[in-house]
Structure 1
Amino acid sequence: MNKKFNAKQLTLLGLMTALLLLMSFTPLGYLNIGPLAITFNVIPVAVSALALGPVGGLIAGSVFGLTSFLQAIGVGGVSMLGSTLFSINPFFSILLCFVPRMLDGFLLGYIFRSVSKLNRVAACFVTGFAAAFLNTLFFMSALILLFGQTEYMQGLINGQNILLFVCAFVGVNAVFEMLSSTVITGAVGSVLLKAGFIQTPAKKAD
């Protein structure tokens, strides 16, 4: 695969970046079902990784991180968790906003490349699942690592086992986000494959 992006790929990256910004700062990025708030913001990151590989995923992940940082400082909306953590330690808060999302997007490119050697359509669905799963895993790991010993986080943990706290913190939302990311990314990726936006290794012969 060429390291340089072609016109189709650059156009798609621009569209995914614009979509990510739109979703992050409007209700379009969220689906409220009763008490659940499901976010679709990882999907443009996953699609970028499908079409442009690790670099595309990294760029889109950086944009996702930027939107989280802006909301933490009250630009384009307010994240209560983000703003609280920013007031505790701005540097750690910046790391929390960017690193998990950038690492997620970067690794998604390699996940898609690896699985696509076996089955390209299945790789789209696997990448969609990994996008939501890894984002949750990396964010929660960074949250515990960077802020776990602060008074604020200790109050939230309230003596619970860390694993139980994480499960309670992400709740059922994470499960629905993984399902939605898997289905939507898989469907969009399948269309992009047929349209020639995604170049992948050929499926291995049996």
Structure 2
Amino acid sequence: MTALLVSLQRDLRLAARRRSEVMTSLAFFVVVVSLFPLGIGPEAQLLQRIAPGVIWVAALLATLLGLPRLFAADHADGTLEQMALSPQPLVLLVAGKVMAHWLLCGLPLVLLAPLLGMQFNLDGGSQQVLVLALLLGTPVLSLIGAVGAALTLGVRGGGALLALLLLPLYVPTLVFGTGAVESYAAGLDATPQLSLLGALLIVALVFTPWATAAALRIALE
């Protein structure tokens, strides 16, 4: 656990020195979500119906925007090789980096979602379900994205390839996340969709750090 915390603290300190990179993803999320009410108009029912999909797609794209930088800097300066050769488990070091990515890119999206939901006339209950769904789903996006970032590390045109690899894998999280809010808005129970998001999170927590570490070792060979 010490290795995980050290990796987490290191990435957070580095991000504090490169705040513009973090703010780019947040600004992208806010701008994309805010453009839809302006472009569609003030029709309340239509805005409420499209709100979950718009916010979730924007969160997915904002998360994807920061993934190419997850391992790139460490790979460029040789830090990644030192991590692979260190006596500390690479899986824990990778888990710390993914956790830092979620704290910087995922958690702010969760916190901003209620404010942006007000633009779509979402009621308080729908906003609570939206926040809970994002809280369960955005870590899944970061964990799966880390595997894709490791697989495309050092590949020319890796950003486009990363999007092609990850977007199909993100579909279940997107469907269950939007479905939870839509079910609540329709007067149904959102628990099944939230439970499926929780199951996806557990599976991702168990398997993706190992897959990411294996992909990094392949990329370093």
TM-score range, shorter chain: 0.3 to 0.5
TM-score by length of 2: 0.31
TM-score by length of 1: 0.32
Q: Which has the higher helix share?
A: 2
